[in-house]
């Protein structure tokens, strides 16, 4: 294998360094936003967007960008402690979790467009549920080890950490993956734009209404997510789910609407059950609809190919019939016994 020339090698190194810096900066900035939702020690949140950003970067750009995740996680946690060794342990967990999740997804042939049901299931069970066990366990154990969290609060803190990372994967990562892999078409009928505007207005209005209402009316959001998934597939379901989840998390963090007067545990149970149900509904229904549309398109293509094949064979059929008629007419003119041409016999 030829060795690349020095200028090419230097360019590859420069691109890799720039990529790592960009990932680190984006991770850090998103982490600062995510920390505003913290419910435990100003460090553990019910929705941790950087994990979704990290996984999306690894899937799209390769595992080689992991140093950017490590740098961003370190900078985001160093100001909060509990100490330098503890920050390094938390950083290791925050880095290893998305890397392992990315490797698991690559092992099963994951496709970033999320148009197949198997890809959505892999993102849910391998990346979100399994992969995030590392970061939650490492981070919570570190806080307990350095007396930042009481030992009896281990499992409550662990559950918040794990669900926050899992929700980051399920809510934020699909937005980046779909935006990076989808072929966006802007020349669409006006009715399509009007429907999209109506969906956006409906999601915004209903979500704000139910998060400011004292009765628990969160279930009213599900018809809108179903509408987005069925009519717009991933392009509609993913951003609508992100907007809904962020708005509901903000309401829970502020103790507003259906979360007013609830303690931490009931708040987290209600919040995570809703976010999980909404995300699974949006992603799974969008994938099922995409697979159905793809199957219909394949059937239409097969029918068109069959019609083209029949049309191409039509001249040969006419030639075949003409030759038979000519042969039988010549035999009849010579007085020989005429044999009826092959075909269905009259009863």
List, for residues 241-290, the tens digit of each pLDDT value. 999 988 888 888 788 888 888 877 788 788 888 888 898 999 999 999 98
**Percent of the chain having pLDDT more than 70?**
86
What are 120-155's pLDDT values in tens digits? 999 999 999 899 999 989 988 998 888 888 888 888
CATH classification (class only), 1-182: mainly alpha
Q: DSSP for 317-341, please give it.
A: HHHHHHHHHHHHHHHHHTTPPPPPP
pLDDT value of position 284: 92
Q: Is 323 exposed, middle or buried (0-12, 13-18, 19+ CB in 10 A)?
A: exposed
Alpha helices in 108-153 (DSSP H): 117-122, 132-145
pLDDT at 346: 44
pLDDT greater than 60 at residue 8: yes
Rounded mean pLDDT of 286-312? 82
Closest CA to 282 of 246, 234, 243, 218: 234
- Residue 262, phi then psi, degrees to nearest 5: -90, 145
pLDDT score at 347: 42
The residue ranges of every structural domain in the chain are 1-182, 185-335
Shortest CA distance to 97 belongs to which of 165, 47, 22, 175? 165
Place of tokens 């000519």: 326
Q: What is the pLDDT of residues 41-92, one digit of tens each?
A: 565 677 889 999 999 999 998 888 899 999 999 998 887 767 888 889 999 9
């Amino acid at each position: 294998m030829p060795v690349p020339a020095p200028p090419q090698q230097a360019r590859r190194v420069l691109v890799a360094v720039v990529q790592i810096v960009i990932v680190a900066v984006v991770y850090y900035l998103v982490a600062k936003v995510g920390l505003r939702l913290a419910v435990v020690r100003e460090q553990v949140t019910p929705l941790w967007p950087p994990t979704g950003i990290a996984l999306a970067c690894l899937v799209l750009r390769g595992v080689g960008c992991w140093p950017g995740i490590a740098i961003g996680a370190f900078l985001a946690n160093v100001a909060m402690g509990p100490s330098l060794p503890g920050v390094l342990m938390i950083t290791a967990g925050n880095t290893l979790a998305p890397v392992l999740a990315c490797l698991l997804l690559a092992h099963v042939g994951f496709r970033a467009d999320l148009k197949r049901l198997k890809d959505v299931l892999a993102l849910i069970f391998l990346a979100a549920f399994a992969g995030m066990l590392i970061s939650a366990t490492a981070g919570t154990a570190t806080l307990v080890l350095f007396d930042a969290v009481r030992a009896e609060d281990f499992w409550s803190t662990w559950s918040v950490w794990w669900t926050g990372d899992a929700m980051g994967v399920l809510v934020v990562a699909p937005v980046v993956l779909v935006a990076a892999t989808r072929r966006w078409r802007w020349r669409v009928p006006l009715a399509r734009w009007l429907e999209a505007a109506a969906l956006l207005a409906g999601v915004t209005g209903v979500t704000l209404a139910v998060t400011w209402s004292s009765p628990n009316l969160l279930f009213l959001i599900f018809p809108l997510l179903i509408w987005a998934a069925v009519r717009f597939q991933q392009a509609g379901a993913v951003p609508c789910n992100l907007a809904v989840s962020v708005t509901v998390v903000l309401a829970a963090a502020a103790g507003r609407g259906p979360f007013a007067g609830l303690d931490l545990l009931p708040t987290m149970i209600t919040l995570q059950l809703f976010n999980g149900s909404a995300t699974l509904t949006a992603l799974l229904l969008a994938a099922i609809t995409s697979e159905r549309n793809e199957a219909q398109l394949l059937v239409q293509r097969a029918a068109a190919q069959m019609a083209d094949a029949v049309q191409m064979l039509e001249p040969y059929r006419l030639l075949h019939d003409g030759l038979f008629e000519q042969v039988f007419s010549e035999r009849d003119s010579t007085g020989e016994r005429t044999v009826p041409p092959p075909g269905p016999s009259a009863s």
